Structure 1
């Protein structure tokens, strides 16, 4: 499934050409069939379908669907909305043939069109429906989450092979997901001067460990790190938090270096004291031996006097 999606991305970066346009209506709200891989031929490949309401009784809006089917039952689907409020989801179903279906939250009676785009003239065997659309049915092979009032990609990609991402893109920012994103690599850029190598500057005011301890006791979190309440209420910029954590790591490195220097200094002092103590013990042994000799001489003198 993941490899399939990569293939779609490569294909759709090429020239797209409008091939077919049809008008349609629906009998009510719900899932309706907008097209399928039903033409004679290969019946596989990538397509882009735009489902549009052009105004009139409806707010102008479009749901763009990129769909792919290979030789076997592997399929994938990716969608994004353009001011869409009534066209909410898309899915691929197996109902003998493979079909693309879209969910409408109300009946569509006029000013509605389907647009099919080919990729550099490639024919996938996909055909658009027209007129009164057939109600959706069949075994769901891949389905998106809701895509409402957004101009961005949305997945909650559910397929028979794998789940790539869960959740809905809600559209307040460039990309929002209420759920889980799986990725092998994420690159976050940084503004000049924001990377905390400034910690190693000679004029950086590193707090003493006593000051850090007092801050933690008073606030229950590290200095310059947001509290749990702040993150729970406002979220957290991943790049910004990574830089703050790096700042703490670099400060911790300075504390470790300072502690190591202290330990080395104490070790040198200890070794000096140890050597001095050894000399004193040796001198003490010499003095003790001298006293023993003096005592023996004194005892001899005493015996001579008698």
Structure 2
């Protein structure tokens, strides 16, 4: 039987992936509880604004070419107040999810690999949420601009930006410090970090696609079997709701980047190894006895 996951240890590519799902399996119920407790309101707000935006888009597409029904408005009218609200609440959802799960992990590590309580997570959440939420605007803007320039700069920045939120929460750092720290710890380990995140995100998107694929296919079939462009309002609404619910899968890459963070810090500074040496003989703190690879 595998004991509780020890975060402060070096891991290779496969160990990070495997321990991500092991930790998810061992802490599934408390993680889901934390997710819905601290992120549920933001997920609901994001879902409602996306429903409004999608409903507006479907009506425009279904009435395309009919000036009387569209009021003379084209596709540009889709980018209205609802569209920007959906972006705002989507960022708030991801920020709240990142803070909630990273707070859970931070307390889990501090308690010696023991499950945190909701009150303990709340103490962290209310302290870090606004800091992470505000930082997310700057980081998304930076990443968006990088992707515009031939995609390559965006992919290069991706692992560095992904590492910033764990540093901010786990080290109680500012955005500026976390940005520089991210480059420092990923240096010489870029490809393994990049590859690990890409593989995990592919798994996450595959899981999401399996959930929303049926309604999306039926909607596309209905759209192309009509003489004029036509989308089903019902199927579009169902797909949007499923997309919002599927955001729960984003817990997985947050765990992955946290494991990668501890692994990289251990590789650079060996803090976990020194801690285990100092605690040698102390049986009160459970220790993962699986062999490490150095």
Name the TM-score, length of structure 2 as normaliser.
0.21
More strand by share: 1
Whichever of the two has the greater Rg, that structure is 1
Higher normalized contact order (CA 8 Å, seq sep 6+, divided by chain length): 2
More helix by share: 2
Name the TM-score, length of structure 1 as normaliser.
0.21
